[in-house]
Structure 1
Amino acid sequence: MFALTLAFAALAQPALAGVGQPSPWQMGLQVPVTEVAHYIGQFHNGLLWLISGIVLFVLALLVYVMVRFNEKANPTPSKTTHNTMIEVIWTVVPVLILIVIAVPSFRLLKLQLVPPQADLVIKATGHAWYWSYEYPGNEGEAFSFDANMVPDDQLQPGQPRLLATDNEVVVPVNKNILVQVTAADVIHSFAVPSFGIKIDAVPGRLNETWFRAEREGVYYGQCSELCGQNHAFMPIAIRVVSEEEYSAWLAEARQKFAATGRPVTVASRVPAAE
């Protein structure tokens, strides 16, 4: 029954899961809007059917053994201690199952960890307990800003509690966005479920992740590493807009966030070997 419930949850996912944020009574992953998130959803649902089949098969074997080999039905038990064929089967079959699982899992890892050529690079730094973001640019064009959670008494209509921020990250739709992630104090974790991204922000180390959002909207995430007292109050809000809207926001943001006059430094990437 539990396995069937899980399988139903996978089928019901599109109707019950939220876009960009969790939904009441959600039973599946958030609706994916990137290639990586789509692949994660497919991999998750495929594994769900596989493990459901294994659970039902093992349950059937247990029921058969209880009925066929109980004391009443089988008063004189066999003295057999080994069966070579059965031992080969229960060794080889799990190995084959793991190989079947490994192939798509390695493909997913490559998709996640080998970013394509970036159209935009953003640096995200985790602090206790908020995020700051840096947009690179030429002299006088670079800027950075902090993003703090909006308190309950200041929420505007449409802003979700514990997820909305006073300043949102804004990116263009259908563009490769490379996010370089680090931390200023303790270990944090940058995660946005609808994008299928989650990567640790480690002090003194620069990690990276990427996404290419297929549809406009606001997508929320949170720090996913237990980082201290206010761990639950450092959300991530990313607004995906058209290229025209992004250009207008960029011009406004350069004025709003008072560029320091020096370029924001982001790490350059060495193309991964094919």
Structure 2
Amino acid sequence: MRKNHRKKWTALSLSGVLALVLSGCTAQELNGYMPGLPGTTDVGDMTATFWVNSWVVLLAIGFFVWGLIIWATVVYRRRKNEVGLPVQMRYHMPIEILFTVIPVVLVGGFFAFTARDQAIVEDNWAADELDVRIEVYGKQWAWDFNYLEVEGSQYDGDVYYQGVQAVELRDAEGKTTGEVDYGQLPTLYVPVGANVTLDLKSRDVAHSFWVPEFNYKEDTIPGKTNEFSFVAEREGVYIGKCAELCGEYHSMMLFQVEVVSEAEYNDYIQSLRDQGNTGARGDEYNRELDNPGTSVPVIQHEEEEH
């Protein structure tokens, strides 16, 4: 009875310590130190949850293995007055099976959950569910955005924006400060709470559309369209960048995503329309359309008069 009473108090003490530790965690710590905060996007929260749960499982296994190592070190340590080597064993079948089965189960489990979450993230909105559709073109070394009209949507569209490469700030002596002018970065506007699909394309070489705080990225491949669907759940400005080495100024291929209200989004679309940026700047502006062919050029000569 006394032994059970001691166990109960031990369990209560551990529970109290655990509750105290968790209560002191910040939102970023509870998010597994992933970029951004919970509630930024729907897909970002799912990715962060998978990340945190993976670390919990791996840490539990780590503590178990560390415990076995310490236990074996203490129990089978060399005692005073002992000489020679301990009794040797060629193998221990149960342990060999355990050390084989556990990694296989872990790898299979992580693969299954990764495939499940990836399938959910890459499941795009149906035509009757879509609110906003935007064509995103990566180009050396900036971004273009076409805001397309969506039938039945409450959001305006059918305008375009053409971005420029990040502009470095300079001091009075003309030297770069290591900072960029965020006011001139290409900015992608997205209404909060809307079902958004991005059609990701490239005008020249392979790029990658990455917003760290969304916990997701997707490549832009020449001649191919990748899609990324999400719901932005928190208003704010989020920095994005190209995550695929694409040339000399790859590091300057920055952009912003600004999540705004419905009214602000429609006002921005109207401002582009007022500037005359109507329609879209599509594949006809892609650089690979101007690539030379593989045939030998033939010079046409006028027939000489005889």
Distance (Å, rounded) in 2 between the aligned partners of 1:243 and 1:130: 26
Give the match for residue 129 of structure 1: 141
1:30 alignment partner, one of 1, 19, 36: 36
Residues 71 and 43 of structure 1: CA distance in aligned 2, closer, same or farther (over 3 Å): same
Aligned-partner residue type, residue 120 of structure 1 = V
Residues 176 and 150 of structure 1: CA distance in aligned 2, closer, same or farther (over 3 Å): farther
Give the match for residue 120 of structure 2: 111
Give the match for residue 208 of structure 1: 227
Question: Is residue 136–residue 264 contact of structure 1 (8 Å, CA) maintained in 2?
Answer: no
Aligned positions of 1:33-48 closer than 5 A: 33-48=40-55
Post-superposition offset of 1:179: 0.7
Aligned-partner residue type, residue 216 of structure 2 = I
Question: Is residue 142–residue 264 contact of structure 1 (8 Å, CA) maintained in 2?
Answer: no
Aligned-partner residue type, residue 132 of structure 1 = D
Aligned-partner residue type, residue 146 of structure 2 = E
The alignment of Structure 1 onto Structure 2 pairs a total of residues equal to 242
Distance (Å, rounded) in 2 between the aligned partners of 1:29 and 1:223: 16
Aligned-partner residue type, residue 132 of structure 2 = L
Distance (Å, rounded) in 2 between the aligned partners of 1:177 and 1:199: 15
Give the match for residue 211 of structure 2: 192
Residues 100 and 45 of structure 1: CA distance in aligned 2, closer, same or farther (over 3 Å): same
Give the match for residue 272 of structure 2: 253
Distance (Å, rounded) in 2 between the aligned partners of 1:195 and 1:83: 47
Which secondary structure does the structure 2 equivalent of 1:247 belong to? Answer: helix
In the alignment, structure 1 segments of 5+ residues that lack a partner are: 1-7, 19-25, 155-160, 267-274
The answer as to 2:189 corresponding to 1:170 is yes
In the alignment, structure 2 segments of 5+ residues that lack a partner are: 1-20, 151-156, 172-178, 284-306
Moved more, 55-64 or 183-192: 55-64
Distance (Å, rounded) in 2 between the aligned partners of 1:226 and 1:212: 28
Aligned-partner residue type, residue 88 of structure 1 = I
Distance (Å, rounded) in 1 between the aligned partners of 2:25 and 2:259: 26
Residues 56 and 257 of structure 1: CA distance in aligned 2, closer, same or farther (over 3 Å): farther
- Superposed CA RMSD: 3.2
Post-superposition offset of 1:163: 8.0
Q: Rg: which structure is higher?
A: 2
Aligned-partner residue type, residue 198 of structure 2 = V
Post-superposition offset of 1:94: 2.2
Moved more, 184-193 or 61-70: 61-70
Give the match for residue 60 of structure 2: 53
Residues 104 and 257 of structure 1: CA distance in aligned 2, closer, same or farther (over 3 Å): farther
- Percent identity among equivalent residues? 27
Distance (Å, rounded) in 2 between the aligned partners of 1:217 and 1:153: 27
Post-superposition offset of 1:181: 1.0
Residues 257 and 171 of structure 1: CA distance in aligned 2, closer, same or farther (over 3 Å): farther
| 1:173-222 superposed Cα distances (whole Å, 9 cap, x missing partner) | 11111111121222110011222320111111111112210122112211
Question: Is residue 187–residue 200 contact of structure 1 (8 Å, CA) maintained in 2?
Answer: yes
1:235 alignment partner, one of 254, 259, 267: 254
